[in-house]
Chains A and B, each alone.
Chain A
Amino acid sequence: MYNIKCDVAIVGGGPAGLAAAVSAKENGAEKVLIIERDSSLGGILQQCIHPGFGLTRFKEELTGPEYYSRFTAKTDELGVEYLLNSMVLEVDSENKQVICTNSEYGLTTVSAKSIVLAMGCRERTRANIVVPGTRPAGLYTAGSAQRLINRQNIMVGKKVVILGSGDIGMIMARRMTLEGAKVVMVVELMDYLAGLTRNRVQCLDDFGIPLKLAHTITAIEGKERVSGVKIAPVDENKKPIKEKEEFVECDTVLFSVGLIPENELTKKAGIEINRVTNGPTVDQYMQTTAPGIFACGNVVHVNDLVDNVSKESEVAGKYAAEYALGTLTKTVKEVAVQVGRNVRYLCPHKLNIGDKEQKVTLYFRVLFPENNVVLRALDGDKKIAKKKELRVNPGEMCSITVDALKITSNAITVEVVKEA
């Protein structure tokens, strides 16, 4: 078997892996190796040709390729190494080894001092949400349609219904319209938008594409190819109201119904998975429950903006480098991170507090939309951080920063409360 040795091995060369690699190098790791299954770096951003990336990080509106190119320029400059066309089969958390197949070397073992998991996420499919009906051609997840159109020059349909108002679905509604397809409607089960308001305005409203909130597809019809779908409004329990069902003609259905962190390798490595996020449990170093194994980006929790992924991955890269160098701060106290009112989940899930000063940013998503609220972090009963927001909604992530050394109890709680 072919063997490679390195300081930090990174599984995945998308935005998370690239940012982690740059940060690991900048923080002193000598040999950093990215292992990527695709034939090029950049991950999903390679097919995200639309603008909207980098507004918080670079203060300009970049397209996906422009965004990742800023990172690949850095990885090249710093001498990050990479192994492309390499599918990782196993991560051995005890021996810190990554076993992969490479088209050139065959079965390959990468031995590292620390490992960063940056595998990203995959789309939920029709099977995940169980839509009744036939199984004709013309059914795609929004992301696979995006890859076919934007990277492989294959147009997927002419008359499209999109299920789910996630960002990828709305982006594809615009993309297909610009390419000459007719997007009949976007159907959303919830009574609010799943993605960003900006995308609703610029991808749907701009082209007069109707958004059907509190509706769902009740059946897919067609033998060889999709001939149409049945849609119906839903009641307060999300059950379709059958009497109001109607037929909508189309030849293509795109599913934009959520993303799932891709954690087969993580689970196999015996790393603890959080039940809400479906990603590994991590501390503020982005270290998983296996010492020396870090994780970042959408493999941990599905982020709203790539800017947030980059930031979080830089944290993982930095501490993975420190772990490899043996300089990572020893934990003196463990603090649990708990969800309070209108918080669905928090990341990191726990804090391993050392004896050094550290500002920790906790990222979270709310359960339901609200206006004029205060985000608060409580240490026991004591307020330790507070931030006002005009509006919060489940589609956009919130964050609050706390001073780790100032925490006195064994648990902090983050909550969203109405302004007094």
Chain B
Amino acid sequence: MVKEIICTVCPRGCHITVEGDNGKVNSVKGEGCKRGLDYATAEFIAPVRILTTLVKINGKENELLPVRSNKPLLKEKLFDCMAEIKKVSVNLPVKMHDVIVKDICGTGVDIVATKSLN
């Protein structure tokens, strides 16, 4: 399998070509530096992203609580996690970095508040 990856480590945005199979990298071409090589390798094997979204607040129609994953999540899990978060609603007060969903979808990652609300 060959994947074209745009490096996001620095503004240069190198187009890196990674070739490999089943999570194993055989060759990397087009990287501008060592950091780019590491980024492309990680992106090829298992891309991860920070998820941010909003959670409903009980008793409030026009206000939502901003939340994030406290660690990056596997990219392929983002929509499953969104579906789980949509089921949740919280009671106030909430403090910044309070855990809103623990171990979301069995990933070992917590969804936490990014704002304190009274």
* Residues of chain A whose beta carbon lies under 8 Å from any beta carbon of chain B: 49-51, 61, 63-66, 69, 150-153, 178-179, 196-198, 200-202, 205-206, 371, 390-393, 396
Min C-beta distance of A366 to chain B, whole Å: 11
B17 at the interface (CB under 8 A from A): no
Residues on the A chain within 8 Å of B8, using CB: 197-198, 201-202
Residues on the B chain within 8 Å of A66, using CB: 96, 114-115
Q: Is the CB of B64 within 8 A of A151?
A: yes
Min C-beta distance of B85 to chain A, whole Å: 10
Complex CA gap A152/B53 in Å reads: 13
- List the A residue with the shortest CB-CB distance to B43: A201
Q: Is the CB of A49 within 8 A of B11?
A: no
**How many of chain B's residues have a CB under 8 angstroms from any CB in A?**
29
Q: Is the CB of A201 within 8 A of B62?
A: no
A63-B66, A206-B75 known; A201-B6 Cβ under 8 A: yes
* Residues of chain B whose beta carbon lies under 8 Å from any beta carbon of chain A: 6, 8, 10-13, 32, 47, 49-54, 56, 61-64, 66, 68, 75, 78-79, 82, 96, 114-116
**Chain B interface main SS type:** mixed
- List the B residue with the shortest CB-CB distance to A180: B82
Q: Is the CB of A178 within 8 A of B96?
A: no
A63-B66, A65-B114 known; A202-B53 Cβ under 8 A: no
- List the A residue with the shortest CB-CB distance to B67: A49
Q: Is the CB of A69 within 8 A of B116?
A: yes
- List the A residue with the shortest CB-CB distance to B6: A201
Min C-beta distance of B47 to chain A, whole Å: 8
Complex CA gap A344/B48 in Å reads: 36
Partner pick for A371 among B12, B53, B114, CB 8 A cutoff: B12
Q: Is the CB of B49 within 8 A of A65?
A: no
Q: Is the CB of B49 within 8 A of A63?
A: no
A63-B68, A153-B64 known; A51-B11 Cβ under 8 A: no
Q: What are the 3 closest A-B residue pairs judged by CB atoms, nearest first?
A: A391-B12, A197-B13, A65-B115
Complex CA gap A63/B96 in Å reads: 12
